[in-house]
Amino acid sequence: MHDATFAAQVALAGRRVVVTGGARGLGAAFVKALAEAGARVTFGDVLVEAGETLAQQLSAAGHDVAFAPLDLAQPASIAAFVDAAAQRMGGVDALINNAAITNSGGKLAHEVSVETWDAVMDVNVRGTWLMCAAAQRWLRESGRGAIVNIASDTALWGAPKLLAYVASKGAVIAMTHSLAREFGADGITVNAIAPGLTEVEATAYVPAERHTYYLEGRALRRAQVPEDVTGPVLFLLSDAARFVTGQLLPVNGGFVMN
């Protein structure tokens, strides 16, 4: 394939993308990478101040980026957010389901409360499902709709003392397979990325020994940073990946291998 042809396939200029949990960390890295690739982005988060600040910074730099409040624990918030994003951009071509909460870190299975379990499932699993369902109409109308769900390699190797989060990300992987078959009739691709332990604010709570465990277990012996994940995600949103669906791609430096 000629370089120019491949470059055209992976180009995202003008692509209308929705991102959840985009105010900081890995989500913010997605928003920035999309903006730099020329995409039009609407992102949501419960962190309103941080979200508005990021949107203002990127807009001032000439990018088409906007923020809207989003609480995945509230179904009405999800529906309102998707409608607002679609109206602002005139439709939706792609969705990155990135937002998630952990809450169960450091606790054994018998120490996790029912309230914590339900909160994690409401955001990570039900929220992902409702985002996909709310965006389906717009993605179908796009003609090149693409969804990337951010899972986690913790669900692949069975990370201990993180049960609710691990279970929720296992559910996201399973939903990705099922949704790919359902949404395929509308020409929508649905894939999942399973990052390893990534150096962001949200992983600051992770004990040093877990960071060391990952570092020593990777084929690539270095810390994982957000930029390691943005490339694979943007590829899955591009025309170069139009015949890739229902797949899970671990992105963890070889810590977990298929």
Q: Which two tokens stand for residue 6?
A: 């491949």
Q: Which two tokens stand for residue 227?
A: 């930029």
Q: Which CATH class is domain 12-251?
A: alpha beta
| Residue-wise DSSP of 16-55 | EEEEES-SSHHHHHHHHHHHHTT-EEEEEES-HHHHHHHH
pLDDT at 9: 58
CA distance 172 to 101: 13
CA distance 123 to 112: 16
For the chain, the structural domain boundaries read 12-251
The answer to whether 34 and 12 are in contact (CB under 8 A) is: yes
Positions in the chain short of pLDDT 50: none
Nearest-Å Rg of the Cα atoms of the chain is 17
pTM over 0.85? The answer is: yes
Nearest 5°: the CA angle 63, 66, 67 is 145
The answer to whether 222 and 253 are in contact (CB under 8 A) is: yes
Q: DSSP class of residue 122?
A: I
- Number of CB atoms found within 10 A of residue 180's CB: 19
Return all residues near 159 (Cβ < 8 A) that are at least 6 apart: 166
CA distance 217 to 250: 14
**Residues noted as catalytic:** 165
The residue with tokens 């995600």 is: 233
pLDDT, one tens digit per residue, over 74-133 is 999 999 999 999 999 999 999 999 999 999 889 999 999 999 999 999 999 999 999 999
Q: Which two tokens stand for residue 68?
A: 């809207």
pLDDT at 211: 85
Q: Percentage of the chain with pLDDT > 90?
A: 85
